[in-house]
């Protein structure tokens, strides 16, 4: 079945540091890939997405590129802020047919803490 593996956290950075959170996936079809962010005490928010190979999703300074050859979707940001402290989830959506269509499979989540 489909699976998503994220780098283990927690990740602790100083403000303005460079961020990379690794994400790799296993899927039988051609999934869409997502990064969701969960701020303390809140639900998940869509951060960015990519629907096909070589697509780059970007939002709020975060970027991730859909790499089919390495089955990866690593999240990057050039300069993090304290307000970026949250839990980040990588996910894929099965676009194959049948009852699994549209179901999201999540990675385990990575806790990011940014210090001033």
Partner 1 sequence: GAVVSQHPSRVICKSGTSVKIECRSLDFQATTMFWYRQFPKQSLMLMATSNEGSKATYEQGVEKDKFLINHASLTLSTLTVTSAHPEDSSFYICSARDWGWVPDTQYFGPGTRLTVL
Asked if 62 contacts 110 with a C-beta cutoff of 8 angstroms, the reply is: no
Please state the closest distance from residue 86 (CB atom) to partner 1, in A: 13
From residue 48, how far is each of 56, 81, 99 by CA, in Å? 9, 18, 25
Question: Minimal distance in Å, beta carbon 30 to partner 1?
Answer: 11
Least distance in Å: CB of 75 to partner 1? Answer: 16
Among 29, 42, 53, 56, binds partner 1 (CB under 8 A): 42
Residue 22, Cβ density class (10 Å: 0-12 exposed, 13-18 middle, ≥19 buried): middle
Residue 73 sits in the site that holds partner 1 (CB under 8 A): no
Strand ranges in the chain using DSSP code E only, listed in sequence order: 3-6, 11-14, 19-21, 23-26, 32-38, 44-50, 56-59, 62-65, 75-77, 86-93, 104-106, 110-115
16 lies in the binding site for partner 1 (CB under 8 A)? no
Which residue from 11, 19, 21, 44 is in contact with partner 1, where contact means CB under 8 A? Answer: 44
45 vs 81, which CB is nearer to partner 1? 45
Cβ-based nearer residue to partner 1, 79 or 111: 111
User: Which residue ranges make up the site for partner 1 (CB under 8 A)?
Assistant: 32, 34, 36, 42-46, 49, 51, 89, 93, 95, 99, 102-104, 106-109, 111
């Amino acid at each position: 079945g489909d699976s998503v593996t994220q780098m283990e956290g927690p990740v602790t950075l100083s403000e303005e540091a460079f961020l990379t959170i690794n994400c790799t996936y296993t899927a039988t079809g051609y999934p869409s890939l997502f990064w969701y962010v969960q701020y303390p005490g809140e639900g998940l928010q869509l951060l960015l997405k990519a629907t096909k190979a070589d697509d780059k999703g970007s939002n709020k300074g975060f970027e991730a590129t859909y790499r089919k050859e390495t089955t990866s979707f690593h999240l990057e940001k050039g300069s993090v802020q304290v307000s970026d402290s949250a839990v980040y989830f990588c996910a894929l959506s099965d676009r194959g047919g049948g009852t699994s269509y549209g179901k999201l499979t999540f990675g385990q989540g990575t806790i990011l803490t940014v210090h001033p």
